[in-house]
């Protein structure tokens, strides 16, 4: 009698364990299937030109078709010479949500002014590079993005340009204490300072 009872208890225990293992396996499978379902194909488009005005036009045309900026780099390509190359991508998201503005100049004071004007319109920093344009010589290029569906966020922008890392350290420490965060940096040849470290910082604008 005791043996039968013991066997019944063992059988019941094994059944419970089997149910637990089966339930866990089904949960893992469901999670895997959900992850596969969420993994959407990504379509990329490469934009390359020697004119920043052309790139801005092409980026906004791509944005109207649902693409969004991913990366940018300036330099010498095999066939195009000195170009700025941007990569944009899209999934199944809404079309026409983003707008882009490109700023290109060899004068840091001009870049500072134009960045702040764009920030006041709701544009945010997304990337920067340096390349030798057809007409402007070697220029710093900044890509700014505005999310049409997002609430208004305004920033104060400050651009730092110096040929000395020690000076950059000092200036970053000063503006960092005022709440500015660095968002990007390149090394470029400016009209006044020669080859300089160019850092772009921003902070949320007080209302």
What per-residue confidence (pLDDT) applies to 206?
A: 77
| Strands across the sheet containing 194-204 | 155-162, 194-204, 181-190
* Residue that has been written with the tokens 């006041």 in this structure: 120
What per-residue confidence (pLDDT) applies to 169?
A: 96
Total domains present in the chain: 2
Confidence bin at 62 (pLDDT 50/70/90): very high
| Same domain, yes or no: 90 and 159 | yes
d(CA 136, CA 106): 8
| Same domain, yes or no: 4 and 104 | no
pTM for this entry = 0.73
| Same domain, yes or no: 98 and 34 | no
What per-residue confidence (pLDDT) applies to 131?
A: 76
Domain that holds residue 182: 43-204
d(CA 66, CA 92): 8
Beta bridge partners of 187: 197
Q: What share of the chain is helix, strand, coil (3-state, %, to 5)?
A: 35, 40, 25
């Amino acid at each position: 009698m005791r043996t039968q009872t013991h066997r019944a208890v063992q059988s019941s225990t094994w059944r419970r364990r089997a149910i637990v293992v089966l339930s866990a396996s089904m949960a893992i499978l469901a999670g895997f299937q959900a992850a596969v379902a969420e993994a959407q194909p990504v379509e990329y488009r490469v934009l390359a030109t020697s004119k920043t005005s052309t790139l801005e036009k092409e980026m906004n045309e791509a944005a109207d078709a649902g693409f969004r900026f991913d990366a940018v780099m300036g330099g010498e390509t095999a066939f195009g010479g000195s170009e700025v190359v941007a990569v944009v991508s899209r999934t199944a998201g809404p079309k026409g949500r983003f707008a882009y503005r490109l700023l290109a100049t060899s004068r840091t004071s001009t870049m500072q002014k134009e960045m702040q004007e764009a920030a006041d319109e709701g544009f945010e920093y997304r990337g920067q590079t340096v390349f030798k344009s057809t007409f402007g010589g070697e220029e710093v290029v900044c890509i700014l993005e505005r999310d049409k569906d997002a609430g208004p966020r305004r920033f104060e922008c400050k651009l730092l340009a110096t040929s000395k890392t020690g000076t950059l350290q000092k200036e970053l420490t000063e503006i960092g204490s005022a709440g500015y965060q660095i968002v990007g940096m390149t090394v470029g040849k400016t009209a006044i300072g020669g080859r300089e470290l160019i850092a772009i910082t921003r902070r949320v604008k007080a209302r």
